[in-house]
Amino acid sequence: MLSHNFSEVKKLRSAGNFASALPLVHSSKIESDEDAFEAMICLFVSGNLEAVLGQVGRHEWKSQWSRNASQALVGPDCP
């Protein structure tokens, strides 16, 4: 389940408001796989692949779905 901050990130991202979503991503603590994946998605759809790759290794995935989904974004050779 998304934390409060990442629920807000998702709303902002879905509305196309990256100017507000991205600073919130960078200032929020990742509390779950869902938060970490939302951060990656927000960075990805904003066109910042370098930042997506920078997220690799910052969160230890606990569930198989999140590990698979993150590898789908960045490739299977990334942790």
Domain ranges of the chain: 4-74
CB count within 10 Å of CB 21 equals 25
The predicted model gives 13-33 an average pLDDT of: 96
Question: According to the model, what pLDDT value does residue 24 have?
Answer: 98
52-75 burial string, b = 16+ CB within 10 Å, else e? beebbeebebeeeebeeebeebbe
pLDDT beyond 70 at 77:
no
Question: According to the model, what pLDDT value does residue 78 have?
Answer: 62
CATH 2.60.40 fits 4-74, yes or no: no
pLDDT beyond 60 at 65:
yes
Closest to 12 measured CA to CA, from 23, 33, 66: 23
The predicted model gives 51-79 an average pLDDT of: 84
**Which tokens sit at 42?**
């927000």
Statement: the pTM of the whole predicted model exceeds 0.85: yes
Alpha helices in 1-79 (DSSP H): 4-14, 18-27, 33-45, 49-55, 64-74
